[in-house]
Amino acid sequence: MADPKFEVVLFDIDGTLLSTGGSSGHAWAHAVRDFYGVDFDVDKNTGKGIPDPEVGREILRAVLGREPTGRELLRLMRRRMKYLPGELESATNFVVQPGVPELLEHLTDEDVLLGLTTGNVEPAAHAKLARADLNHYFSFGGYGSDASERVELTKRAVERARRLADEELPNEVILAVGDTPRDVEAGHGAGIRVAGVATGEYSVEQLREAGADWAFATLEEGLPA
C-alpha cells in the first residue's frame, strides 16, 4: 500500500476516484441550452483535466464566438450547478474506480492526510464525492474555484495541507494522484511527486511518458511502495 514516507496524498476526482458517467457534461449542456437555446456536446469539445472555469470559458467561446465576460461565465457555472446533483443522482453508469474505497480507508487508518487536487469548483467536487459516499475522507483541497491553472490549484492544496497539519511538510512527503498528463504536470509544477492511474483515458505507458513518477493500471495496486 502507501509508502509511509508520504504523509499527504492529494487525489484528483474525475477518472481517478470516480467516473460520473457523463453527468457533468449533461449539466453543462442543460445550462447552455437554458441561456443560449443550442445543444452543445461539452465532452467532445473541451479537454480533459481542465478546471471548471476554463471549461466554461471554452464552452462560451464556442457558443458566443468571442471571449465571455466574467458575469457570463459565473452565470453559466451557477446554472450548471443547479443541474449537477440531479444528473449525478440519476446517472446509471456512475462508478467508483476499482480499489478506491479500500485505499482511502487504508490511508485513513495510517493517519495519512488526504486532500483533493481537482479542476472541479468546490461545490461540484463535493457533489460528486457525495454521490460516491467518499466525502468524509477529505478535509481540504485545491479546487477549480481557487485557480484557472491546475498547477496553481495544486499549490493551493499543498498550502492548505501545511496549514492544517500546522507544520512545514516538505515536498518529499506529499504525493499527488491523477489520471491525466495535466495532473502530472500540475503536481510537478507544485514541486511534488505524482502517481498516475490509468482509469481515465490515458494508459499506463502514456502516463509514464508524460513524466509520472509511478503509473498503475488501477488503485487496486495501491500507491508507491
In tens, the pLDDT along 113-155 reads: 999 999 999 999 999 999 999 999 999 999 999 988 899 999 9
Four-way CATH pick for 8-20+94-221: 3.40.50.150, 3.10.20.30, 3.40.50.1000, 3.30.230.10: 3.40.50.1000
In tens, the pLDDT along 30-76 reads: 999 999 999 998 878 776 778 899 999 999 999 999 999 999 999 99
User: Positive or negative CA dihedral for 31, 33, 36, 42?
Assistant: positive
Closest C-alpha to 7, from 113, 100, 158: 113
* Helix, strand, coil fractions of the chain, as percent rounded to 5: 50, 15, 35
Quote the pLDDT of residue 225: 62
Query: Domain spans of the chain?
Result: 8-20+94-221, 23-90
174 by DSSP, 3-state: which? strand
Name beta bridge partners: 95.
19
